[in-house]
Structures are given as structure tokens and as C-alpha cells.
Amino acid sequence: MSNPSGGAGEPRRGFLAQALALGLAAAAYAVPVLAGLAAALNPLRQKGRAGKFYKLATLDALPEDGTPQKVAVIDQRVNAWTRSIEPIGAVLLMRSDGPEQVRAIHVTCPHAGCSVQFKETVDEESGQKVRKFYCPCHQASFDLQGQRLDQTSPSPRDLDTLEVELRNQTEVWVQFQNFKTGTANKVPRV
């Protein structure tokens, strides 16, 4: 016996319609949830800049007398919406004679993160030039190798040196890294 109104098939069609509606609603809900999760985890997926080499200068652009030159480190920053070229830090480059022709010192003071400055003065007693790095935030002084001149300085460590490579005999490449301030050890920031 058949039901002309299709009574036996209607609950089945109703179930399929409800299942389809529920599946579409779940998919519509999942899209923004997955997009939000992807945005939240985005920093974990991006390659870190830690330890990346940057071409910062040429050997002939640095003064032969070893006077430090402050050079900005520029990199491409990418977020969910834009790409931009921005400074990510700075380095003091110094040319010297010998196998290590160029030294690189991070411009950030390890005490509180202020930028150190190159300062050249004349010693009143001896009349000789004194060349050093100076932190204007707490008056700490460092020699041109980055070592603290006053061990009672509030700076917990010497200035941070960076690895330098001379490529093609003239290009100065520096392995740039930012470090945590206020710590006695040189701890990379990730």
C-alpha cells in the first residue's frame, strides 16, 4: 500500500535537509574560527630573523682609522596584510688592520636598551685622544672592542659583538641578532 502524500519519505527528506543545513552552518562557522587560529599562530609559522646575515656596507665605505660608523639594519617585515621594508636595528662597524678587518658591535646598550654613541674626547692630563662608546642613559663607557671601562657600571655585560663576514673581498656582511637587555648573559631574542 502506498501513501499518496509520501508520508514515509518525508521524515527521511527532513532528516537530510536538517543534516545538510547543520553541515553548512558548521562550515560557515569553521571559516572564521580557522582564519582566527591561523592569524594567532602566524608568528610561529614565519621564519625568524635571528642570525640572518645582512649586507651592510663595503670595506672602502668604512674609515681606515677605525672610526665607528653607525649602520641601520633593514629587513622586510610581513604581517597578515602588508609587506614593508623597515629598520630592525643598528650596528656600529669599525675597520681595523689584521685578519679581522671589520668589527661589528650592536648599538643597543645591554643595561636598558638605549643606543650607545661614539664619543671622541681629549684626556685633560695626557692630552691624548680618548675614543669610546658612551651610553647617555646611565653614563656608562665602553672601549672600541665593546668592553666596559668601568666595572661598577649599571650595564650587566659588555656591548654585544656580532659575527662579520667579508664576502667578495669588499662586501661587509653581519649576522644580525637582537639580545635581551638587563641580563648578565648574552641571550638572543627570538
Do residues 114 and 108 lie in contact, with contact meaning Cβ atoms separated by under 8 Å?
yes
130: burial class by Cβ within 10 Å (0-12, 13-18, 19+)?
middle
Running DSSP on this structure, what letter comes out for residue 114?
P
| pLDDT one-digit tens code per residue, 130-163 | 889 989 888 888 998 888 988 777 888 899 999 9
Q: pTM above the 0.95 mark?
A: no
Domain boundaries, the chain: 1-45, 52-176
- pLDDT band for 170, please (50, 70, 90 cuts): confident
| pLDDT one-digit tens code per residue, 18-76 | 888 888 888 888 888 777 766 666 554 444 455 789 999 998 889 888 899 999 999 88
Q: Looking up cell 651592510, which residue turns up?
A: 56
Looking at residue 14, its pLDDT comes to: 79
**In the CATH scheme, what is the homologous superfamily, with its name and number, of domain 52-176?**
Rieske [2Fe-2S] iron-sulphur domain (2.102.10.10)
Q: In degrees rounded to 5, what are phi and psi of residue 54?
A: -125, 135
Looking at residue 116, its pLDDT comes to: 92
Ordered DSSP codes for 149-179: S-TTSS-SSPPPEE-EEEETTTEEEEEE--B
E strand or H helix that includes residue 31 = helix 9-45
